Amino acid sequence: MLSREYPTGTVTFLFTDIEGSTKLWESHPGRMREALARHDTLMREAIESSSGHVFRTQGDAFCATFSTALDAVSAVLAALVALASEPWPEATPIRVRMAVHTGVAESRDGDYFGSCVNRVARLLTAGHGGQALVSQTTFDLARDVLPSGAWLQGMGDHQLKDLGRPESVYQLVLPGLPSDFPPLRTLNNPELKHNLPGQLTSFIGRESELTEIASLFAKTRLLTLTGSGGCGKTRLALQAAADMLDGSGDGAWLIELAPIADPNLVPQAVADVLEVKDQQGKTLTQSLVERLRRQHVLLVLDNCEHVLGACASLADTLLRNCPQTLILATSQEGLNVIGETTYRVPSLSLPDPKRTQTADSLSHYESVRLFIDRAVQVQTDFVVTNENAPALASVCHRLDGIPLAIELAAARIRSLSLEDIDGKLHERFRLLSRGARTAVPRHQTLRGAIDWSYDLLSEQEGRLLSHLSVFTGGWTLEAAEDVCPGGGIRESDVLDLLASLVDKSLVQSETRAGSRYHLLE
C-alpha cells in the first residue's frame, strides 16, 4: 500500500515527459545524461515544493499526486518557469509536456491505477513540449484559485486516444512563456489519419497488454490477437491502434470483416476503407500493393476467423511487398503465415473467491472494475459493499474474467442482486442474454458468442468438443485419447483435433508441469 503521506480518495495527478527524448539520446547521449539529471532535479523541486508526491518515474517521465488541484497547478507553473529559465545546451533542448487531471484514485503496492490514471496518461500524449494541459475536472476546481497572472485557455472538446467520451481540454498559460503550439494530438486532429470508431463505454484495464503489444510491434509487422469469443480482442486492438497514432505515418485503418461471408471479398473490404479503386489489367490485391508499397500504415483486420484463408493470403502478400505496412489482426486462431506473431488475449484479472473479499480488496481487479462500470450504467446507485463483495468475486471468477460475459451479467443488475446473479449462473445461457440491441448478434447473448465459434468448427472438431464436456477439472492428452474416440474419431485423431481446438481458443492449454487442458466455464 502507499505510504500514509500519499493522497488517496479524490486526488489530482500530474504526468510529465520530455518530447523527442529518444532522438536526443541517440544523437547526444553524453549531453543528454547531464540534461536529464538537471531536468529531474527541477521537476522534483517543483513537485515537492507544492506538497506533491512522486510515486513513479520511468525514463524521463514523472508521475505525481497532489491533495488539491491548486497544488498541482502551482507545481506545473513552477516547473514551467524553472525549465524555461534553464540555459539548456543547444544540442539538447529539454521541452517537457505536462498533463493534470483530478479523479478518484485507486492504489495498490505503492502505485495508483484505474480510469483516472489512464485518462491523464492519454491527456499527456495529446500535448507538445513546453505545453501544460488540464482536464475539465481540474479546471472546475482550480479556475477560481489560480495564482496571479496565470489563466486557463480553453482548447475545445477533444477525443483522446482512449476512444471514450470526449474531454474538454484547457491549456495553462503564464505571461512570458510560450503559449502557441501545434494542434493537439487527439483523434479529432486531421493530422492523425484513421477511421477508428469512438466508443460509448470506457476502456477498463489492459495496461500491461497494451505495453506488450507495443513492444511486440518493434519485432514484427503482423501481430494477431487470439482468444475466445467475447474476450475483448477487438476493443484491445482498437486501443492499441489508437495508441500507435502519432501523426508521423499514413494512419491506422480498421477493416471490419465480421459482416463478410464470401472470403473473396476480403481485398475489397480493405480497398473500400483505403479508397483504392479497381485498375484495368490489375487485380484488386495488386492495386492495394501499389498503393501501400510506399506508405507507412497500420491495418486492423478485425474478426478474421471465418475468412481465415483469405486474410492469410492478403497479409502474406502485403508483408512481402509493402515493407512499411503493419497489420494488427484479431481472430480466434492465428493466420499461420511466415512472419506472424500471435498474442493470446488473457482474461481480465480475477479475485480469488476462496479468500475473504471486501469492497476495498476487490477494487484493483480488472474484471470487478468492468462489472462495476457497466452495472452503474444500468443502475446508477449500484455500490459494492463488504456484504455483497463475496458474491461479486464469485460472479467474476465463474465467468472466467471474459469481458462479454461480465458485461451481460452486469446488465442484469437492474432487476437482480449480486447474490441472485451468482445463484443463477448455473443457467448462464438464459441469464446472460440481455446484450445491447445494436450490438452484433454474437455479442447480444453468451450463446450467440459460443455459436459463432462452434459453427466455424469442422464436424470432427465439434464432435470432440462435445466429448470433452465429460471432463471436470481438466484432463490430459492421455485421458482424452482414452475417453473421446468414437463417432468417427479415432484415437490417432485426438492429438491433432485437440491442438486445433486449442488454436481456435475453445480449449485452454497449460504446459507448466506437463500438458493439461480444460474448458472455460
> Which residue(s) pair with 514 in the sheet?
512
- Cα separation values, 305 from 261, 301, 318, 330, Å: 11, 10, 19, 8
CA distance 204 to 298: 23
Question: Please, are residues 117 and 45 in contact by the beta-carbon 8 Å criterion?
Answer: no
Residue 229 CA to residue 249 CA, distance in Å, equals 32
- Give the Cα separation of 448 and 151 in Å (integer): 53
Query: How many residues does this entry show for the chain?
Result: 521
- Is the confidence at residue 2, as pLDDT, over 50? no
Contact 184, 245 (CB under 8 A): no
CB 196 within 8 A of CB 163: yes
pLDDT digits (tens, 9 = 90+) for 344-374: 999 899 998 888 888 888 888 999 999 999 9
Assess whether pLDDT exceeds 70 at residue 332. yes
- Residues in contact with 26: Cβ distance below 8 Å, sequence separation at least 6, in sequence order: none
Task: Give first-to-last CA distance, the chain, whole Å.
Answer: 33
Pair 312, 283: CB distance under 8 Å:
no
Q: Residue 98's pLDDT is what? A: 98
pLDDT at 123 over 80: yes
| DSSP annotation of 184 | P
Pull the grid cell for residue 306: 471465418
387 SS3 class? coil
State what percent of residues in the chain have pLDDT above 70: 95
Contact 465, 454 (CB under 8 A): yes
More confident of the two residues 444 and 392 = 392
**Residue 513 pLDDT > 70:** no
CA distance 360 to 357: 8
Please state, in angstroms and rounded to a whole number, the distance separating the CA atoms of residues 389 and 502: 33
Three-state DSSP at 401 gives: coil
156 touches 126 (CB < 8 A): no
Q: For residues 455 and 188, give the distance between their C-alpha atoms in angstroms, rounded to a whole number.
A: 39
For 45-79, what is each residue's pLDDT tens digit? 999 999 999 999 988 999 999 999 999 999 999 99
pTM: 0.83
pLDDT > 60? residue 1: no
The one-character DSSP state at 491 is G
Half-sphere exposure of residue 265: CA atoms within 13 angstroms, side-chain side: 12
Share of the chain above pLDDT 90, in %: 57
Residues 98, 127: contact at Cβ < 8 Å?
Answer: yes
pLDDT of 219 reads 93
Question: Kind and range of the H or E element at 153?
Answer: strand 151-158
